[in-house]
Structures are given as C-alpha cells and as structure tokens.
Amino acid sequence: MKEKETVYPVQALGERKRMANLELLRCVAMMMVVVLHYLGKGGLLADLAGESLNVPELAAWLLEAFCIVAVNVYMFLSGYFLSGSSFRLSRLIQLWMQVWLYSVALGLAGALSGVMRGTELDLHYLLTLIFPILMGHYWFMTAYLFLYLMLPLAGMAVERMTKRQLQVTLGLLLLAFCVIKSVLPLRLEMDGQGYDCLWYLCVFLTAAYVRKFGISILDKKWTGVILYAGGCLGGFAGTLALRQVYLRTGSLERMLTMFLEYNHVLPFLAAVGLFGIFRKVQVKGKGAAAINRIAPYTLGVYLLHENLGLRYSWQDWLGADRAASAMAEGGWSGVGSLLFWTLAAVAAVFLCGILADMARRWIFHLLHRGLSCLSPYRRLVERIEGVDAEFRRREKDAGCL
C-alpha cells in the first residue's frame, strides 16, 4: 500500500515546515503568469487568423504554449496543500484585505497619475476597485476565494471519500469540464475556458487525489517531463493545425486558441506533469531558505501587475514595443529580442511584486499592532480566532486532520 504523503497547509505563515521544491514551483508558475500577460497584453502574439507567421511570431506562440500551464499549476499547488488543511476565517479575511489594498491603492494611483491605459475612469471602474472580488477585478482571486469558501465542504468530503468514490467524482467532473470541450470542434455554452470556480474545483480535487492516494505514473522518473513537454508541444501543434484548417476552409475561427485554454486536457496534463517534475526536485540549504522566504509573497506579483491601473501599461515600459519591432523584421534576431525583453520583464515584475508585497505585509503588521490597543479590535480578533479554532476542532473530531 502506498504510504500517505505528509500534508502541509498552503502559505501557512510559518506554522509548519514548507516544501522548498514546491515553493520553487510556485515562484516559477507566477513567472509564467507574467510571461503570459507580457505576450498577450504586450501585443507580441500574432493574429492566428493572419496569412503567415514568421519565425519570431511562432516562437512567441511556442513560449505561450509552454507557459499556459501556469494558472493550473498555481491552483494545483493550492489544492495539494489546502485539501489537507483546516479552513481559516482569518486567512480568508487576510486574502480579501490583501486584494482590496492592491485594488484600491494601485487602481487610484494608476488612474490619477495618467499611466492607466485601456480602461475608462468611470463609476464602474471605481466600483471595481472598491469591490474587487465581486466585480472580478482579479478573476483568479474571485475564483480562488470562492473555492476557499467551499474548503470546509470540499476538504471534508475528500477526506471521507474512498479512492473509488473520488475517482468516479473526479472523472465525471473532468469529463464535463475538460474532456468534452477538448474533443468537440465547437464552443459549448457552459465552457468558461477555465476562468471560473468550477474548473478550479476540478483542479483542486485532482490535487487532493494526488495528495491522498498518489498517482503511480508520477513516481516514474521521466513521466512528468513527458507529460509537461508533450502537453505543451501538443497544444502548440494543435493550435497550428487548427490555424491551417481555418486558412483553408474559413471555419473554426472561434476555436483557434482552444488547445491553449486552461481547461483543455493538454494544458491540464502538462500542469500535472510539471508538478510531478518539481515534486522530485531536491532543494536544500540556503537555496531552500531563500525560496521559502520569497514564496509567500508571490501573490503580490499578480496583484501588482494585473491591477487595472497598470494592466495595459507596464508591458511597453519593459520593452514590449521594442520586441514587437524586432519580431516584425523576422529572423532569429527577432527571437533573441523576444526572449531578452520577456526575461527582463519577468525579472523586473517579479522583483517589484515581491518587494511590494513585503511592504504590504509590513504595513499590515504595523496596523495590527496599532489596532491591538483598541478593545473592539481585540475582541474582533478573538472572535475570528475562535471561529478558526472551532473549524479545527470539528475537522479533527471528524478525522479530517
């Protein structure tokens, strides 16, 4: 019988030991997210419906294919850890406050400073800043927080289910939200393309299954590499194949990017494969300590560069226009320019995001210390801690922890 793996809660704020190899994967996934937004919003992805694609444009789409797994990987990591941890109201509030601060502060700063592009400063914009979760300012955080709200139900259900029960449930969900859309040459009305909570429930349950029961193929040395490389290359090849069908027949235009959508089976399998690769990576010593220190701040990278006040501006600040000009000339020099400016942008955004979230956490710490002098605040904190303790006690009594 396969030994059950040790479970650690996601971003446990120092409560338990972190797994440096998977925290490294968290950092890599966030860097991939930056790549996707640099390519897409920086105008570096050529129109697939165009008559021709030069070498740099093909390279940009290949880079897109290898990074499209990022969001699935990030949610897979959350599911892997969360499925073995207790729901915490304090964590939910902390996440909401973190999102709200970035939304309001950066959104107003971008609008008032004049750097904001692609968005109108109107009532809808202001409401989006004030209610970022309900207005979908950050779609990933909207899906994530609602999924976290379901943790008491999903987590306890997973722990009580047998292997066969979880296999059947997961299989039906993946069939409905992943497999069917991957094989039918048409758009389904219920296909959210992976931008919804239902899809991330599928990813969450997959990760929970891996944590609880394991998957034997991921224990083999090269399986993860094959799944990741095969899924990414398959998605790239499938995209080019659909493009050829469109150019010859004029049909399937709405399907051109189907192979590179989050809930397509190929990016999904590639994400599982990448997780399998990093699960076997050994990270020790000072490198592990540095990664474990940085990883809790990676969410700040996303909240910084995807804020509406900056979302369509930072790409040109970091060379997207220069990369586009070099790519238009074609040749391998255009590929070199694409890679140089993309890597430079990723490094700059990642560093700024980590530093910004360190500052945010320091501000929250000071506010907490200051407000702790007020008895109403102390009573509120005690009540929240009481709710957390109640969830831990109930789940422990139910045998879920």
Q: Domains of the chain: which residue ranges?
A: 20-397
Indicate the burial class of 286 (C-beta count within 10 angstroms; 0-12, 13-18, 19 or more). Answer: exposed
Indicate the burial class of 120 (C-beta count within 10 angstroms; 0-12, 13-18, 19 or more). Answer: exposed
Mean pLDDT by 10 residues, the chain (401 residues): 35 56 96 98 94 94 97 94 86 96 96 90 95 95 92 85 94 95 88 91 94 87 93 97 94 92 96 94 91 95 96 96 94 94 98 97 94 93 92 67 53
Residues 6+ apart with CB under 8 A from 141: 95, 99, 132, 133, 302, 303
**Tell me: the pLDDT tens digits for 220-271?**
878 999 999 999 999 999 999 999 999 999 888 889 999 999 999 999 999 9
Say what the pLDDT of residue 239 is: 96
Closest CA to 302 of 48, 31, 56: 31
Contact 36, 42 (CB under 8 A): no
Say what the pLDDT of residue 2 is: 36
Average pLDDT, the chain: 90
**Predicted TM-score of the model (pTM):** 0.91
